[in-house]
């Protein structure tokens, strides 16, 4: 899987989980494909695949949240009736204010929108090591937006590209290639949905429940995230806390990421925390710890 993304903090603020011991409630406001994509894939004969992906994402995201996050995820398909008469913009998406009203009605402070904007599926038989071989590659483009439903404003937005391949698998005939394509359907689509769900929960964790330095004692740095989040030997980035500044033109408050202070090499991992050694002495309590950004394509 390759992923290219850029996270932009637009407005609002990060959650300080210490302010509230109860887990945050996040509304899965919308999981959908753009109208432009649906029209395009219908012409290419890929509409059923996109529909399968969109339908599978809600349970996949919910399952990933149960496994890897402190949040309570609510919403999804069960709430579609609430927005069946909503106002939609030119992109075919629900108006943010409408989603905000739905979120407030359901007692959720934060909402996430997952929009599938691109999909391709290329399969064929080629020569591989002197043999006829079937190979298939699927790519998926997704935009994630995290909203503060109490203000109907976006906190963060990011775009991601995923790809997954099957093969090369030797085939002896065209019929064998057709059967191999059918056999690869479930694997490719499930793999893409799993990757998207993991991305959604990882970003919600990073934006709404950031890992922070809990303690620094005798050179050992303790971080508030452990378990599956990191492994021994990982090198993490350490930042100063983000801060709010006012946009002099719009007068709105925006959140600016803190300056990078150094790195932290993980030496031990427990269920609810990890420990490591810092590259710089400026790493102190309450610093934000993040995984390094993936290479932007």
Q: Could you tell me the pLDDT band of residue 23, with boundaries at 50, 70 and 90?
A: low
pLDDT band at 107 (very low <50, low <70, confident <90, very high): low
- In sequence order, the 6+-apart residues with CB closer than 8 A to the CB of 34 are 91, 92, 93, 115, 116, 117
Per-residue pLDDT at 74: 80
Rounded distance, CA 176 to CA 143, Å? 36
Fold matches, 8-208 and 211-290: no
User: Of how many residues is the chain composed?
Assistant: 297
pLDDT tens digits for 262-284? 999 999 999 889 999 999 888 99
Give pLDDT, residue 210. Answer: 85
- The predicted pLDDT at position 250 comes to 76
The string of pLDDT tens digits covering residues 132-142 is 888 889 999 99
Q: Which comes out higher in pLDDT, residue 251 or 238?
A: 238
Write out pLDDT tens, residues 5-17: 444 443 333 433 3
Residue 154 near residue 10, CB atoms below 8 Å = yes
Per-residue pLDDT at 216 exceeds 60:
yes
Tokens of 41: 């894939």
CA angle 5, 8, 14 (to 5 degrees): 120
What is this structure's pTM? 0.71
Give the chain's radius of gyration (CA, Å): 22
The mean pLDDT value of the chain amounts to 80
Angle subtended by helix axes 35-44 and 47-68, to nearest 10:
130
Q: What pLDDT digit, counting tens, does each position of 38-93 carry?
A: 999 999 999 999 999 999 999 999 888 887 777 778 876 434 433 433 444 444 45
Average pLDDT over residues 290-295: 73
- Is the domain covering 8-208 a CATH 3.40.50.10610 domain? yes
Domain ranges of the chain: 8-208, 211-290
pLDDT digits (tens, 9 = 90+) for 182-209: 888 888 999 999 999 999 998 888 888 8
Among 10, 16, 77, 29, smallest CA distance to 200 is for 29
What's the rounded Cα separation, in Å, for the pair 9 and 239? Answer: 15
Q: Which CATH number fits domain 211-290: 3.40.1190.20, 1.10.3720.10, 3.80.10.10, 2.40.10.410?
A: 2.40.10.410
């Amino acid at each position: 899987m390759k992923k290219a993304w850029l996270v932009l903090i637009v407005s609002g603020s990060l959650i300080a989980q210490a302010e509230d011991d109860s887990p945050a409630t996040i509304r899965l406001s919308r999981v959908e494909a753009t109208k432009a994509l649906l029209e395009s894939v219908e012409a290419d004969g890929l509409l059923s695949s996109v529909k399968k992906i969109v339908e599978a994402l809600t349970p996949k995201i919910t399952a990933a949240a149960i496994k890897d996050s402190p949040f309570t995820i609510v919403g999804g398909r069960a709430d579609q009736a609430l927005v069946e008469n909503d106002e939609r913009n030119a992109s075919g998406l629900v108006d943010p204010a409408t989603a905000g009203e739905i979120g407030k009605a359901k007692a959720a402070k934060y909402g996430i929108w997952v929009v599938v904007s691109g999909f391709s599926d290329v399969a064929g038989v080629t020569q591989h090591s002197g043999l006829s071989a079937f190979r298939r590659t699927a790519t998926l483009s997704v935009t994630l937006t995290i909203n503060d439903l109490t203000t109907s404003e976006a906190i963060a937005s990011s775009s991601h590209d995923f790809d997954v391949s099957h093969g090369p698998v030797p085939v002896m005939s065209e019929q064998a290639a057709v059967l191999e394509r059918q056999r690869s359907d479930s694997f490719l689509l499930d793999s893409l949905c799993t990757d998207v769900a993991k991305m959604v929960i990882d970003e919600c964790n990073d934006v709404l429940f950031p890992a922070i330095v809990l303690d620094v004692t005798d050179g050992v740095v303790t971080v508030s995230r452990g378990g599956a989040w990191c492994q021994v030997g990982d090198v993490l980035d350490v930042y100063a806390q983000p801060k709010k500044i006012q946009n002099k033109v719009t007068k709105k408050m925006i959140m600016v990421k803190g300056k990078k202070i150094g790195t932290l090499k993980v030496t031990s991992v427990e269920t609810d925390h990890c420990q490591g050694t810092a590259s710089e002495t400026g790493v102190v309590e309450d610093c934000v710890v993040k995984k390094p950004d993936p290479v932007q394509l």
